[in-house]
Structure 1
Amino acid sequence: MDSFYKYHVFFCLNQRDPGAERPSCANCNAQEMQEYAKKRVKKLGLAGPGQVRINKAGCLDRCELGPTLVVYPEGIWYTYVDESDIDEIVDSHLANGKIVERLKIDQ
């Protein structure tokens, strides 16, 4: 059976309490980057059934690796810093199927 989306992307938006032992993706502009990715995918005409879906997620349990997102169906994990990193993931992986090795987190 074919997947409903070619790529389904989940951004960790978890927010931990101040003073928590582990970091939170929400403290690294994860919400803003998720919203940016969603708008960028839509602007490029990549959004919708059979294409790309950008979603929010709770904790993905990779907190110590920086803000994280995961692209399914391949299960490719990425970290990012800013909009230029998101642009690279969208342009390379989501638009052209090429993994961005420099932002990839080891499985």
Structure 2
Amino acid sequence: MDVKPAASQPDWSLPPPHRRHVFLCTGPRCVRRGALSLWKVLRRRLVEHDLVETPGGILLTRNGCQFPCNRGPLLTVYPDRCWYGVQDPQQVLRVVDEHLLHGRPVAALRLPLPEDET
């Protein structure tokens, strides 16, 4: 199988500048729970603060299922290793305003990670 080269453009040769990488699940269960409208809220708020793909800003990625589906839509922040269950626009805005703008993870929305339970 031959893999054709991707279109060449300088902007596609390296990841965009960023401090944190934020993923929002757009798998089927999270989409059913409103993830696409939450994506718009998330992106709009980050654009308002000029944080999308800027040094010190956010690399924003939609992805497929992250698990656990019953807690979604899921929003994860790396390298901080924070997993959030966000069900409405206010929760998304809270994560942006408290965690991404001010560096304070939102404990009330965080999901426990497996190592937290040992």
Q: TM-score, normalised by structure 2?
A: 0.77
Contact preservation (8 Å) 2:41, 2:93: no
Superposition RMSD on alpha carbons, in Å? 1.4
Contact preservation (8 Å) 2:98, 2:106: yes
Select 2:26's aligned residue among 5, 8, 13. Answer: 13
- Measured in 1, the distance between the counterparts of 2:81 and 2:17 equals 16
Amino acid of the residue matched to residue 65 of structure 1?
R
Select 1:66's aligned residue among 52, 63, 72. Answer: 72
**2:30 is the alignment partner of 1:25:** yes
Structure 1 stretches of 4+ with a deviation exceeding 4 A read none
Task: Give unmatched runs, 5+ long, in structure 1.
Answer: 16-23
Q: Which has the higher contact order (CA 8 A, sep 6+)?
A: 1
Q: TM-score, normalised by structure 1?
A: 0.84
Contact preservation (8 Å) 1:37, 1:54: no
Identity of aligned residues (%): 28
Higher Rg: 2
Tell me the SS of whatever aligns to 2:101: helix
